[in-house]
Structures are given as structure tokens and as C-alpha cells.
Structure 1
């Protein structure tokens, strides 16, 4: 591991100022991803700026009835918060599905959104990887790719984003707020992650040196009736091979409102807009759910070894929406 400096920040402006003068510095939250990447040599920061002492560790109700979640709130505290459990249950379920208790106690909301792919070629310095070293190629396209992207990928990168939390936040129209030396800014989570294109090493729309300060969730009555379902290759904690966060409002057998986020299918948590549009105002039936999933997955371009994800994702969407419909009818 490369030698690096360490500095603890006690205010947001001070933390941002340090990153503004040192492009090789990185913010350190829980370190559950960054430190691992430093050990393998993928990340080689000259300085770590510890932001855990910043006053960004609360979950609060906003004036409009939504939620404001600080960037240093731990995953454990987020999942356990009464307002999250009651008003956005799929978010609690996604966080609990994401890691072991020990990791959840350390990992932060801001860090979770910024975690990098777990593609084996990305973490193996002996293999070409455009995300790690632009212009070298993507080893996964012709190599091991059974858990890689089926939506939004290009020949330059087929890696998937690993966040469970991000899938639920995407479904609920979360907005990421940040601070820079020039002042504050915000990005809807659906615009936070950049398309892969031919620059997969550019992962987010955050300005250089920006510090995530909090995430807001707008009020969404439909979110109170939501669920997160994750499929993984082993029962213990593992990254998803497919996941769905969905919320559904059904009245008299008709879908009045629906939100769907899909995970493990793209370089970012995937908002299923086509499926939502197909369902809204129509019947809440398994046939309609399947047709909506097919509409969303029509753009899928699977590789030879991950075509199963199309069927898996379709079945997940149908199963979760069907279960929510049955619960609403009780």
C-alpha cells in the first residue's frame, strides 16, 4: 500500500478546502470500500480526509414531509430509523440485505453511493480494465461476465453497480446534495451516475472535490407500501445477481402509482421508467406486470453468459408487484 497522509475534518468547508488543493486526496467515511481498494492498489490517494466527525449523521423530516438523510449516517442507523422503516420500508430492507452487521455499522450513506464496482477485473491490476485504466480494454466482455450488465453497457465496460441501498433510493426519487468550494449543489440520483459510454472511469456527475452532505427523499405515500427483493448466489451476505425495489398503490384493481428500481443489471441503479409507464392506470395483474417488465427489458443486451438475468429480473418484478398487490387486498 502506498504511504498516505491522514487528516480529520471537523467542518464541511474545511473538508472541501483540503480536497480543492489536493487532487490526490480522498474523503474517508466508513472506508469499507475505499480501504479495500487501497490495499489492492486500485486506489492510491496521497491523503485521506476523515469526514466521520462532520455534523452529517442525522435523519430528519423535511418541511414537505420527506426525509433528509445525512451523508455520514451509518447503514445500521438508517435501516433502524423509525421513519425509514415506516415510510420507506423497501429502503430498510435493501440496507439490511446489503452487508453484514459489522459492515453496516461502519458504512455510510454517502460512501455507499460512491462505492465502486466489484468486477474482478477492476480489482485485478494484472488485467486490462477501462474503468481502472482508460483505454486498456474491458476484460469482462470476452471473459467472466455472468454477473455483469445487461442494460446500458457498452463494449468499453459491462460492470454493474453493487449498491442495494441505491436501488431503493432510485425508486423513491432521491436527490443527492453536495458542497463544493463554489457552494452547494444537488443531483437527482437518476442523474448522479454517468452513462458508461466510452468513458467508464467517469462514474458520477459530482464536480471535482465535491463532498456529499445529505440525501433527500421527497414525500411519497406509495413508498409506505414497498418491498425490496434480492437474489444472490449464496444465502450469506453477497452482492446481488438481481434485485428489485418496488412500491405500488392499487385501488379497485387499478394501478394508481408505481415505482420500480432494478439492481445488478447496469453500471448504476436502474429506474424502470418504461415499466412504470406501462403499468400506471392499468390492471394490477401478473400478466400486466410481466408485460411491463418485458417493456423495460426490451433494451437488454446480454452477453453470452448472463442472459439469465433477463428472465431473473422479469420474474423478480412480477413476484414483488404480485406480492404487494396481494397485501393491499387483505
Structure 2
């Protein structure tokens, strides 16, 4: 097992800098997920850790050793790619055994490691099959098995589930998490899917345009985003962002949005002065309807007009217009049948409201 550390790591392609001096410490046995939109630099960072991409500046350390000049095969990392990269003419057994054969392991050691990996991934019935005879999920498990047999210090996953259908992705997420718990190996996982990031990670690293925007546990980045980008990127539906003005009225602090006054709870945004422009962030699940409205303070309640409603099984998504101008997305429990134009009582958990600076888009603490 090993720690991984990036110190001021930069990547340039010609004159274009795509990774801008990032710093990151990954603990031993930690499951870290790098997430962000396409082009944010997450796969490039992963490839620099693997040694498949040379770094332009800075240092990559594995278990305290600088590996900038160490070849990929000598870093003792195992990488699983999006496209499986299996040898089509080899059986499942031989695909998993190939790297061990190339490294000169004894046949008995190879058999032991392959059987162990096959047992962990439930591939024992398929060891004699070729990749063409497997499903997409089984092929991905073979690719993971090829990494497991190496007993690597660090596992690197580059969007391994993106080629699978939705149901299989859910199943494979569970398998990946169980595999990590069994093996207790430092794991770095790249995805653009924030659901994968939230369900798999011990900590999430959110990147945008080659910069790290926030690092934290799934709950930290969801409930306390450092900036508007994180608030909108993490969470589905994304955080509602509204333009407002901070006011102190009758001794009470609030964010005025349109005709509404959203209370700012004590301890939040203490540095703001009266009249300061703000962006108001409210998670869709912090908007309440039905019985849950009755449990909120009176000043946290208002009425809204339903624009659109979607029932998604055990929950519903509603687009609601407040004050005739501001539109919000609400995520509520249960099957809420509401028709466009219907006026309904709603409530807000304002203790979960986040205020952002309109110029920097950073959270106001």
C-alpha cells in the first residue's frame, strides 16, 4: 500500500497549460475520486501519476519517493482503462496472468494469484472464455482482475464504467466498493459522473479547467461547497442559484430575492454588510412540501406556482416559480401530483442556504 502526493504539478502541451500547479495528498488505502467536466484535466492527472504522461513541472511522489523519472512499469501501479484493453485471442485466465508471466513469476504463483482475483470478482466460471464471449460488465471485471493480480501499491481507474448501461453501472459501483474494502489498496478513480463520485469516494477532488476547486468528503462538498461551480456540479438536480441582496431589516439578517426575504441564520456570512449583492444557493432537497412544511418556522414558509412536475418513483422533481419571477427546482419525497399553474405552500431549510460572492463566485463563510 502507498501514499500519493502531487506537489505543484503542471502539464503543458506545447504552449498550452492544461494542469496548473495542483497540490494533492492521497492517504494510504484511501479511495479518491477525481471528478469534473470533460477537459478539466482529470485523466491527464491520472496518467501523470501512472507515468504514461510526463509532467512539465512539479513532483509526483509515491510512498514518499519522487517518481518523475521512474518508468511506468517500475512504479508498481495498476491501471484500468475505459475500453478494457483485453487481448481478444487470450482466455480470461491468460489475460489476467499475462503481466505476471512477463515479470517472470512461477506458474504456481500465477495460478494462485489468478484464482484469488477470479474468486474476488466472481469470474471463476469464465476463466476459459475469450473476451468476445463475455458481457460488458464481465469484461470490465477481467480488466480489474488483471490489476488485482499484480498486488500493486496504487490502483488507477480511468472512467471504467462509462461504456456500461445504467443498471450495470450501479452494480459495478457496488462491486468496486466491495473490492476496495477487501483489498484495502490506495485507489484513484477518474469519472465525469458525480453520482459515481458521491457513492464511491472517501474524498472527492473536483477539477475545472486544470484547477482543483475543492477537496472533501461527499457530504462536505454537497452540503458546504466552496464555490458556485461545486454547488452546481455536485448534486442532481444541481443547486439552485439566485441573485439577491443582503439586508438587515428590523435587526434580522436576510437575503432579499425578488419580493422574498430569505433569513440568514446566525453564524453564517457574518462579514456581510447591508446592501451587499449576493448569490443565494439552495439545494433542491432543502425545499419542502406537504407535511414537512408544517415542521418549519413560519418565516421559512411561502407559496409558489408549479411550472412543471416529474414523478421519479420514490421522489418527485418540481419546477416552482416564486414571486412570479424566480424559478426553483425542488426535490421532494414521495409522489407529488401537482399541475402547472397550481399554487402550493412550500418551505425552505434556510440553515442549509449558502451565500456566494457574485464576483468571485466563492462561498461567503
Give the structure with the larger helix fraction. 1
More strand per residue: 2
Q: TM-score, normalised on structure 1? A: 0.26
